[in-house]
Amino acid sequence: MATKKNAIKEIKGGESLADSLINFIGQPTAVLCARFNYRGILSHVSKDHIILAQARAVESSGASSQNSPSTEDPIGSSVIISMQAVELVYWPNWVNAPLD
């Protein structure tokens, strides 16, 4: 299980979400987009999009304190998520559940 970096980071004036997320490349990460949650390894960050490797679509996450999401499906590849679609990037306990 990977050790996550400090997930509490203040975004300073003029700093974008992309600027903040660069610090978490290589870490298991959860992303909420509209009605969908995704989890995987944050592998790329740009001002326009992020890429989650070993991505899974989390249909029902359950409590953040759970060790694994209640229901999820592997996507089978990486997923590219537009920065405009991102509502929340977070690190619940279940983000560290095995991806394989």
Spatial distance between the Cα atoms of 12 and 23, rounded to a whole number of angstroms: 14
The amino acid present at 6, given as its one-letter code, is N
Which pLDDT does position 35 carry in this prediction? 79
Where along the chain do its domains lie?
A: 17-96
Looking at domain 17-96, its CATH class is mainly beta
CA 100 to each of CA 48, 66, 70, 97: distance values in angstroms, whole numbers, following the listed order: 28, 18, 16, 9
For 30-70, how does the pLDDT look when each residue is reduced to its tens digit (9 = 90+)? Answer: 999 987 899 999 999 999 999 999 999 999 898 999 999 99
User: How high is the mean pLDDT of the chain?
Assistant: 88
Q: What pTM, to 2 d.p., does this model score?
A: 0.83
Between the two ends of the chain, the Cα-to-Cα distance in Å is 12
Check pLDDT > 80 for residue 80: yes
